[in-house]
Amino acid sequence: MARRVAVVAGGHSKFGKRFDATVRELSAEAFKPIVDEGITQDKIDASILSYAASQFSGQGAGSALIADYIGLQNRPHMRVESACTTGTASLRAAWGMVAAGLYDVMLVLGVEQMNRVSSAMATEYMSQAGDMRWEYPFGISFPAFYALMASRYMSEYGMTHDTLAKIAVKSHHYGAQNPKAHLPKEITFEEANNAVAICSPLNLYDCSLITDGAAAVVIASEDRVKEFTDRPMWIKGIGAGASEMMIQDRASLTSIPGAKYAANAAYKMAGVEPKDIKMAQVHDCFTIAELIAYEDLGFAEPGKGPELVENKENYHDGRIPVNCDGGLKSKGHPLGATGVSMTYEVMKQMRGEAENSSRQIDDVDLGLVHNVGQSGQFVNVFIFERGW
């Protein structure tokens, strides 16, 4: 029988345009708080590097480089890549190794440095994750994929851009209170609704950021947890899903099928329902992605996500707080670090350690992470349980 596994510590760099640091230095910045908690290198059996796209920084063999730099040389290490879900794919791989008894204590470290290339080049690199025969050559970038989803949602359910603007306002409200955020600034509804178009109907404030940064967590087997913390965050449920590569082959553009599958699998493994979740970190690469996530995760019925937004049920004191760290939209989206950063945020909220009390969620005993790669070709959902 698989062993129970818990997250016992974490660390997080400042997200942003980090021209002051390299990939290895960002990684060390995220790892240092873990060492400061007393989990030194000699206590870690192996590591997984979540590093999605080495072409941004030009550094290959990242797991070897970073293991050496942070003092884990001569320990087993590996790199995982799964587009924007690289962080949670890495955590899922590490969980499997610890649950199976291969290792007792593992580090999962996610990092990306995306601003060493131009925005145009970064967009092109990411666009190459689309179909290189039938999508990429015709100019379909990821803003275009999600613009198609937004247009279809508006057509089917009569939603206006006002709803998406209100999601952006919420994201920046919480990002402004997060010292780790890339763009910690409040925005008005008017700014969010009337910003320059990126890919209609999506505008500047509908799109996540091209970000540099790192995040790290340590997981341990149930028999080792007490060595490290009396506040473990147990990995209670895990689900993974996939969707058709080309979105033209999907039955609907108002839902991501892989996300529904992953969520249902995670709920089943955890033995809980959507109504039990006290907070969620969802993959808001675009505001429409956050809205669709509400429905795919069962927080709202199809077409009813806008009601959740209008009633502010997604705020820290609402029925289902979502992305109270600013999300990808304001905190930032360094690809390999994103899923690990989401996990770190759930841990901080469970411990009552959100940096600003006005974004701290009360009494979080169950938290959810929803991490989507590409336009839904990869999806991971984790459910975490407070262990004290």
In a domain, 247, yes or no: no
In a domain, 65, yes or no: yes
Q: Which domain range does residue 64 map to?
A: 5-117+210-227
In a domain, 198, yes or no: no
Single out the residue of 285, 333, 358, 310 nearest to residue 189, CA to CA.
310
In a domain, 237, yes or no: no
Report CA-CA distances (Å) from 136 to 8, 149, 297. 41, 17, 29
Provide Rg for the chain, Cα atoms.
Answer: 19
Strand order in the sheet with 233-241: 77-80, 46-50, 105-113, 212-221, 5-12, 233-241, 378-386, 366-373, 279-281
pLDDT of residue 1: 67
**CA distance linking residue 350 with residue 278, whole number of Å:** 10
Report CA-CA distances (Å) from 225 to 7, 39, 62. 9, 11, 28
In a domain, 94, yes or no: yes
pLDDT of residue 134: 84
Indicate the SS3 state at residue 377: coil
pLDDT of residue 64: 96
pLDDT of residue 357: 78
pLDDT of residue 140: 84
Residues marked as catalytic: 84, 333
Are 168 and 153 a contacting pair, CB within 8 Å?
no
**CA distance linking residue 358 with residue 147, whole number of Å:** 32
Are 4 and 224 a contacting pair, CB within 8 Å?
no
Does the reported pTM lie above 0.85? yes
Q: Would you mind telling me the total number of residues written for the chain in this entry?
A: 388
Instruction: List, in sequence order, the alpha helices (H) in the chain.
Output: 23-36, 62-69, 86-100, 119-127, 142-157, 161-175, 189-194, 257-270, 287-296, 305-310, 327-330, 335-350
In a domain, 30, yes or no: yes
**For the chain, how are helix, strand and coil distributed in percent, rounded to 5?**
40, 20, 40
**Which pair of structure tokens corresponds to residue 6?**
């818990």
Strand partners, 235: 384
Q: How many domains does the chain have?
A: 1
pLDDT of residue 203: 98
pLDDT of residue 93: 98
In a domain, 19, yes or no: yes
Q: What is the CATH number of the domain that holds 30?
A: 3.40.47.10
In a domain, 360, yes or no: no
- Tens digits of pLDDT across the chain (388 residues): 689 999 999 999 999 999 999 999 999 999 999 999 999 999 999 999 999 988 888 888 899 999 999 999 999 999 999 999 999 999 999 999 999 999 999 999 999 999 988 888 888 888 887 888 888 888 788 999 999 999 999 999 999 999 999 999 999 999 999 999 999 999 999 999 999 999 999 999 999 999 999 999 999 999 999 999 999 999 999 999 999 998 889 999 999 999 999 999 999 999 999 999 999 999 999 999 999 999 999 999 999 999 999 999 999 999 999 999 999 999 999 999 999 999 999 999 999 999 877 899 999 999 999 999 999 999 999 999 999 9
Indicate the SS3 state at residue 236: strand
